[in-house]
Structure 1
Amino acid sequence: MQTFTIKPFEMPSGAGALRTQVRDIISAHVTDGDIARRANCWQVNDPEFSRVLGKAGLIGMTWPKAYGGHERSALERYIVLEELLAAGAPVGAHWIADRQTAPLLLRYGTEEQRQRWVPGIAAGEVYGCIGLSEPNAGSDLASVRASARLDGDGWLLNGQKIWTTNAHIAHIMIGLFRSEDGSERNAGLSQFLIPLDTPGITIRPIINLTGEHDFNEVFFEDVRLPAEALVGVAGNGWAQATAELSLERSGPERYLSSMVLVTELVRHACSSGDPAAIALAGKFASEAWTLRQMSLAVAGRMAMGEDPALEATIVKDLGNSFEQAIPTLVQQLVELDLSSGDPLAVLTAQLLQLSPSFSLRGGTREILRGIVARGLGLR
Structure 2
Amino acid sequence: MEHPPSPETSGALRQQVRRLTDDWRSAGRYTPRSDSWLRSFDLEFSRELAARGLIAMTYPKEFGGAGRTHVERLAVTEELLRAGAPVAAHWIGDRQIGPAILRHGSPELQEEIVPRIASADAVFCLGMSEPEAGSDLASVRTTAEPVDGGWRINGHKIWTTQAHRATHAYLLARTARTDRKHDGLTEFIVDMTAEGVSVTPIIDLSGEHHFNEVRFDDVRVPAHRVLGEVGGGWRQVVEQLSFERGGAERVLSSYPVLVELIAEAARHGADRELRSLLGSLVARLAVLRRLCFEVARAMDAGAAPVQRAAALKYLGNAFEYDVIEALRRTGLARDAAPDSVFGQALLASPAFALRGGAADVLLSLIARQEARS
Does the TM-score normalized on the shorter chain lie above 0.5?
A: yes
Counterpart of 1:192 (choices 188, 193, 215) is 188
The 3-state SS of whatever aligns with 2:335 is coil
Instruction: Report the TM-score, using the length of structure 1 for normalisation.
Output: 0.92
**SS of the counterpart of 1:101?**
helix
Equivalent residues of 1:143, 1:184 under 8 A apart: no
Give the direction of change, closer, same or farther, for the CA distance of 1:339–1:187 in structure 2 (3 Å limit): closer
Task: Name the counterpart of 1:286.
Answer: 283
Shift of 1:334: 2.6
2:19 matched residue in structure 1: 24
Q: Of 71, 85, 95, which residue of structure 1 is paired with 2:67?
A: 71
- 1:328-360 deviation digits (Å, cap 9, x = unpaired): 22112234422579xxx9211221121111000
Aligned to 1:355: 349
SS in 2 for 1:256: coil
Equivalent residues in 2 for 1:20-99, closer than 5 Å: 20-30=15-25, 31-32=27-28, 35=31, 37-43=32-38, 44-99=40-95
State which of 161, 166, 173 in structure 1 corresponds to 2:157: 161
| Partners of 1:162 and 1:32 in 2: CA distance | 34
Pick from 167, 173, 182: which aligns with 2:169?
A: 173
Query: Once the two structures are aligned, what percentage of the paired residues are identical?
Result: 41
State the aligned residue count. Answer: 369
Residue 374 of structure 1 corresponds to which residue in structure 2? 368
Please name the residue that 1:323 is paired with. Answer: 320
Q: Which amino acid aligns with 1:93?
A: A
The question of whether the paired residues in 2 share the 8 Å contact of 1:250 and 1:315 is answered with: yes
* CA deviation after TM superposition for structure 1 residue 318, in Å: 0.2
CA distance in 2, matches of 1:14, 1:318: 25
**Rounded Cα–Cα distance in structure 2 between residues aligned with 1:279 and 1:349:** 24
Q: Which residue identity does 2:353 align to in structure 1?
A: S
Q: In the aligned structure 2, how far is the partner of 1:178 from the partner of 1:166?
A: 23
5+ long unaligned stretches in structure 1:
1-6
Q: CA deviation at 1:266?
A: 1.1
1:256 Cα deviation from its structure 2 partner: 0.5
- Aligned partners of 2:185 and 2:234 also within 8 Å: yes
- TM-superposed CA distance for 1:32, in Å, is 4.0
Alignment of 1:187-266 (within 5 A): 187-266=183-262
Which amino acid in 1 is paired with 2:21? I
Q: In angstroms, what is the RMSD of aligned CA positions?
A: 2.1
**Alpha-carbon contact 2:160-2:214 (below 8 Å) kept:** yes
1:86-118 superposed Cα distances (whole Å, 9 cap, x missing partner): 111111110000001111111111112111111
How many Å separate the matches in 1 of 2:131 and 2:108?
A: 33
Partners of 2:64 and 2:238 lie apart in 1 by 26
Task: Write out the 4+ residue segments of structure 1 that deviate beyond 3 Å after TM superposition.
Answer: 11-14, 30-35, 181-184, 276-279
- Contact 1:133–1:141 (8 Å) recurs in 2: yes
CA distances 1:100-159 after superposition (whole Å, capped 9, x unpaired): 111111111111211111112111221111111111111111111110001223211001
1:104 aligned to 2:104? no
The 3-state SS of whatever aligns with 1:38 is coil
Q: Match of 1:370, as an amino acid?
A: S
Q: Which amino acid aligns with 1:314?
A: A
**What displacement does 1:34 show?**
7.0
Give the Cα–Cα distance (whole angstroms) in 2 for the partners of residues 220 and 183 of structure 1.
25
Deviation at 1:179, TM superposition (A): 0.3
CA distance in 2, matches of 1:145, 1:277: 49
Could you tell me how far 1:211 is from its partner in structure 2? 1.4
Contact 1:45 1:93 in 2 (8 A): yes
Amino acid at match of 2:347: Q
Structure 1 stretch 111-120 or stretch 41-50: which is displaced more?
A: 111-120
Equivalent residues of 2:169, 2:192 under 8 A apart: yes
Question: Which amino acid is 2:256 matched to?
Answer: V
- Kindly state the Cα deviation for residue 21 of structure 1 after the two structures are TM-superposed: 0.7
Aligned to 1:300: 297
Deviation at 1:224, TM superposition (A): 1.2
Letter of the 1:298 counterpart: V
Stretches of structure 2 that go unaligned for 5 or more consecutive residues are none
Contact 1:328 1:352 in 2 (8 A): no
Contact 2:24 2:30 in 1 (8 A): no
User: In the TM superposition, what is the alpha-carbon distance from 1:316 to its structure 2 partner?
Assistant: 0.7
Aligned residue type for 2:371: G
TM-score under structure 2 length normalisation: 0.94
Q: Residue in 2 aligned with 1:3?
A: none
The whole-number CA distance in structure 1 between the counterparts of 2:152 and 2:176 is 12
2:118 counterpart of 1:122 = yes
Q: Distance in 2 between matches of 1:183 and 1:48?
A: 47
In structure 2, the residue matched to 1:337 is: 334
CA distance in 1 between partners of 2:36 and 2:343 (Å): 15
* Change in CA separation of 1:282 and 1:203 when aligned onto 2, cut-off 3 Å: same
